[in-house]
Amino acid sequence: MKTDTLIFREDVFPTDVGHVRDIVASTGFFFEAEIEVAVELVQDRLTRGLASEYYFVFAEQDGKVLGYTCFGPIACTLASYDLYWIAVHHDARGKGIGKQLLAQSEKCIAARGGQRVYIETASREQYEPTRKFYLSCGYREEAILEDFYAPGDGKVIYVKAL
């Protein structure tokens, strides 16, 4: 599968509820409650539109949604954004789609006046590739909150100035 034919879109369609559920579940990284949160953000965007302040970028190839991001402004800040979700379907991983999705999302954030992007992830060993991915994309580790999610599972916060 070549990634030079990826199409990015920001519009959110009702079919994206299923796409997001499938993508997030395929990774094997998330608990069922987390998958439901990912789906709820899509549903909120569909219900409330831009007022939800949840923005999305979907990566498609040959009519199939391979990955997505969800981001939004951080309340009470002037120009900071959270990247809530970035996920690529398990079958499409390792092909550079995540890096392209993240770069496209950063462009969208900058176009909305965003100057800093924050990303949170778990400190569990399973997430080591995820943490390396963020570092390879120019993010720096800003903080670790020990035992945040559960004993032995901290929150690692990354930041990048755009």
Q: Model confidence over 124-150: pLDDT tens digits?
A: 999 999 999 999 999 999 999 999 999
Number of structural domains found in the chain:
2
Is the same domain home to 53 and 3?
A: yes
**In one letter, which amino acid is 13?**
F
Instruction: Say if residue 3's pLDDT is above 70.
Output: no
Q: How many residues does the chain have?
A: 162
CB atoms within 10 A of CB 19: 20
Is the same domain home to 56 and 135?
A: no
pLDDT digits (tens, 9 = 90+) for 65-96: 999 999 999 999 999 999 999 999 999 999 99
pLDDT digits (tens, 9 = 90+) for 35-52: 999 999 999 999 999 999
Is the same domain home to 60 and 70?
A: yes
Closest Cα partner for 138 from 108, 113, 111, 106? Answer: 106
Question: What are 38's two structure tokens?
Answer: 């990912």
Is the same domain home to 6 and 17?
A: yes
Q: Crossing angle of helices 16-26/32-48, nearest 10°?
A: 160
Torsion 4-6-7-11 (CA) sign: negative
Q: Domain limits at 155? A: 115-162
